[in-house]
């Protein structure tokens, strides 16, 4: 049996969590703050949990410099439930199709007759981030939807498109990876299971004026953003344990020095990998360099027959979960905040060695 | 600081979990099955997680004797999201109003113009389970909805009403407390945070023929039961950690001897408390004896001014979270599966002593 520490987990999500956070979770698993009960066993309306919720919100606000006129909400259902909720609450959206998840979001809107797709990057297999031409935007769109970081294809919007329309973004796989100009967005949502905490929690950051514009009268209460805002995410029982872990992750990020520091580390990690790929005759990443994600680095082997060998040997070396998304195959290294630079260095060494031995 | 073991947690939910389960969770928190990763850090599509999901389903099927023509689904959003989902998928329902949660379910249906309430127990402050007169049922109802166990008021349907209509039941606070005639229900749902596991997971048990009758064509995929059934609850990322804990709870129940044994223990626990209340001049529970829940035992003190004193002293004695629901006050002892009989005995002793000292 392998012991933790020998392995590095490159899973795209649910993904590796910071070792210090996991140690803390383990330490107080049976008795939160010495209360004799696990955080899983206390009421969401208890003073102890309300403090966790409050801390999580204020830490996230501080970390991301979220302006005062925004609300932070904790929901369930992942980004996948956000896909229909956004158009249900805000009407027709213009969807920029830059990959699988952007398309899923669009399809959920389309099913409601509330989505129009435009100027995506499907023409070049999602290997770049398109320039958005304001003339392409449907006149009656109430918002522009983007998927900030495309987990499968390894692309990223490094500047939020400013089109004079409220901007809605799926940041599941890049939230907290770098400073973010929150004020340029009207709604940000992110499934927790990549850079925040365990699966089952979805964080929503929403501009209050946008929230107030929601036409949600006939909607089920559980599908209105307003319900979560009015009840401080306690209308019903939230996923309390996931919120608790998220709060610890936020505290860890604070301790690391915040998002500017994280961005530097993440850029360094990504550069190691992209340089390795760029200098190689075996590995291939076709994403436009300026659009390359610093969270997900997908690549192919020029000799595709070697990909299963690569994956099997990587695993033997303790480099886990490098398989690309099942829908497109290949290799993908997800290097979220919790992936230490040592893991990336070990991967790069392995890649170079593998290339030497196989090419 | 109190150490675990000295205290007993009577919280209505999120509630106490079995000590053995929590110890196991702690033990393998950093390395699930020796894989070097936490169960929180592995993909929901990994072989390891699929095994957990599969085990959880087969254990639940065995424990509850779920017939083969039923599907077991793992959702998010708690029972609160089931409230609107049921009528969205199945049309108009007849709602028997036996308490707060039954009413919430009805209101979610009413908002869609798909709910009709009838023959509830509001007339006597929800202190009994009404006999349902088939003549009262709206002719165009597609299902009958009940809340099997009423957490706030401490009542329980001990026999599922058979009205020739598909029966839908919220079993959040009684699932797994005793054997259940699943074949009499078309859909059972239960938020996990009482008798199953951590908050953020909702278990749905649905008869396949009922599932197939869903008129869900225009619905968002995430709000169709069919989506979860067709993708074995893996259409999107499920709350993996909560499913893992649930699986351990199911294994614990197996080891305890199954639901018949649990029912005996639960009846014994409940009897201790109801007898204590019945023999007392201070404590009062007005629920019809035949309808008394074996999971939630609410009571009042005839001298209401003593209730805060009772709660404060109970807490000092290590008897935690006995406060009644905020909307009705009083005292409530939730004695779910994970509450050992020792906890109930300690509470009864405390109650007798408190009565002796204060009356």
Mutation for B interface: A41, A108, A231, most B CBs within 10 A: A41
On whether both B128 and B231 belong to a single domain, the answer is: yes
Residue B270 CB partners (closer than 8 Å, separation 6+): B292, B293, B294, B295, B297, B335
Q: What angle do CA B261, B15, B292 make, to 5 degrees?
A: 55
Tokens of B321: 């979270």
The kind and range of the H/E element at A127 are none
Q: pLDDT band at A320, cuts 50/70/90?
A: very high
Q: Note whether A288 and A56 are within 8 A (CB).
A: no
Q: How many beta-carbon pairs under 8 angstroms link A with B?
A: 231
Q: Quick: pLDDT tens for A126-138.
A: 999 999 988 889 9
Last residue of a domain, one of B226, B256, B286: B256
On whether both B164 and B303 belong to a single domain, the answer is: no
What residues of B act catalytically? 101, 170, 194
Give bridge partners of residue A189 from the DSSP assignment: A170, A204
On whether both B130 and B198 belong to a single domain, the answer is: yes
On whether both A250 and A271 belong to a single domain, the answer is: no
Inter-chain CB proximity A240 and B198 less than 8 Å: yes
On whether both A151 and A281 belong to a single domain, the answer is: no
Angstroms from A210 CA to nearest CA on chain B: 22
On whether both B45 and B162 belong to a single domain, the answer is: yes
Q: pLDDT band at A118, cuts 50/70/90?
A: confident
Q: Quick: pLDDT tens for B123-140.
A: 999 999 999 988 889 999
Residue A359 is predicted with a pLDDT of: 82
Over residues A244-261, mean pLDDT: 98
Complete edge-to-edge strand list for the sheet that includes strand A296-301 = A283-284, A296-301, A331-334
Q: Which residue has the tokens 């009577």?
A: B10
On whether both A193 and A295 belong to a single domain, the answer is: no
Angstroms from A359 CA to nearest CA on chain B: 30
Total structural domains in chain A?
A: 2
What is the distance between the alpha carbons of residues B280 and B299, in angstroms, rounded to a whole number? 12
Q: Note whether A222 and B83 are within 8 A (CB).
A: yes
In terms of pTM, does the model score above 0.90? yes
Residue B4 is predicted with a pLDDT of: 42
Instruction: With a threshold of 0.95, tell me whether the complex ipTM lies above it.
Output: yes
Inter-chain CB proximity A191 and B111 less than 8 Å: no
Q: pLDDT band at A6, cuts 50/70/90?
A: confident
Mutation for A interface: B237, B243, B246, most A CBs within 10 A: B237
On whether both B142 and B275 belong to a single domain, the answer is: no
What is the distance between the alpha carbons of residues A269 and A312, in angstroms, rounded to a whole number? 23
Last residue of a domain, one of B256, B281, B308: B256
Last residue of a domain, one of B256, B285, B311: B256
Alpha helices in B65-114 (DSSP H): 78-90, 100-111
In a domain, A203, yes or no: yes
On whether both B100 and B193 belong to a single domain, the answer is: yes
Q: Quick: pLDDT tens for B179-200.
A: 999 999 999 999 999 999 999 9
Q: What residues make up the domain containing A180? A: 23-256
Closest residue of chain B to A242, computed from CA coordinates: B200
The dihedral of CA B345, B350, B352, B353: what is its sign? positive
In a domain, A344, yes or no: yes
On whether both B237 and B288 belong to a single domain, the answer is: no
Inter-chain CB proximity A30 and B22 less than 8 Å: yes
Q: Quick: pLDDT tens for A86-104.
A: 999 999 999 999 999 999 9
On whether both B235 and B275 belong to a single domain, the answer is: no
């Amino acid at each position: 049996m392998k012991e933790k520490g020998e392995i590095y987990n490159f899973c795209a999500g649910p993904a590796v969590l910071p070792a210090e956070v996991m140690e803390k979770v383990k330490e107080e698993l049976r008795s939160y703050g010495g209360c004799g009960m696990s955080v899983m066993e206390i009421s969401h309306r208890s003073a102890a949990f309300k403090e966790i919720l409050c801390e999580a919100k204020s830490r996230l606000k501080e970390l991301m410099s979220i302006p005062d006129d925004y609300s932070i909400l904790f929901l369930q259902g992942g980004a996948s439930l956000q896909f229909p909720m956004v158009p249900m609450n805000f009407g027709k959206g213009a969807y920029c199709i830059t990959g699988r998840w952007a398309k899923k979001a669009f399809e959920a809107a389309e099913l409601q007759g509330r989505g129009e797709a435009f100027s995506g990057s499907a023409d070049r297999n999602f290997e770049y981030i398109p320039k958005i031409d304001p003339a392409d935007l449907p006149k009656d769109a109430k918002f522009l939807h983007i998927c900030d970081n495309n987990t499968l294809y390894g692309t990223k919007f490094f500047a939020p498109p400013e089109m004079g329309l409220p901007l809605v973004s799926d940041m599941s796989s890049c939230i907290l990876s770098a400073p973010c100009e929150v004020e340029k967005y009207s709604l940000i949502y992110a499934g927790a299971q990549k850079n925040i905490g365990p699966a089952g929690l979805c964080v929503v950051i929403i501009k209050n004026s946008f929230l107030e514009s929601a036409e949600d009268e006939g909607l089920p209460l559980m599908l209105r953003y307003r319900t979560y805002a009015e009840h401080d995410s306690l209308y019903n029982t939230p996923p309390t344990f996931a919120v608790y872990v998220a709060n610890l992750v936020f505290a860890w990020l604070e301790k690391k020095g915040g998002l500017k520091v994280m961005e530097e580390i993440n850029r360094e990690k990504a550069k190691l990998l992209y340089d390795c790929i760029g200098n190689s005759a075996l590995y291939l990443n076709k994403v436009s360099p300026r659009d390359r994600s610093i969270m997900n680095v997908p690549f192919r082997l020029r000799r595709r027959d070697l990909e299963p060998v690569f994956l099997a040997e990587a695993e033997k070396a303790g480099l886990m979960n490098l398989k690309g998304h099942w829908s497109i195959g290949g290799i993908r290294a997800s290097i979220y905040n919790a992936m230490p630079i040592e893991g990336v260095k070990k991967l790069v060494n392995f890649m170079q060695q593998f290339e030497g031995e196989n090419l």
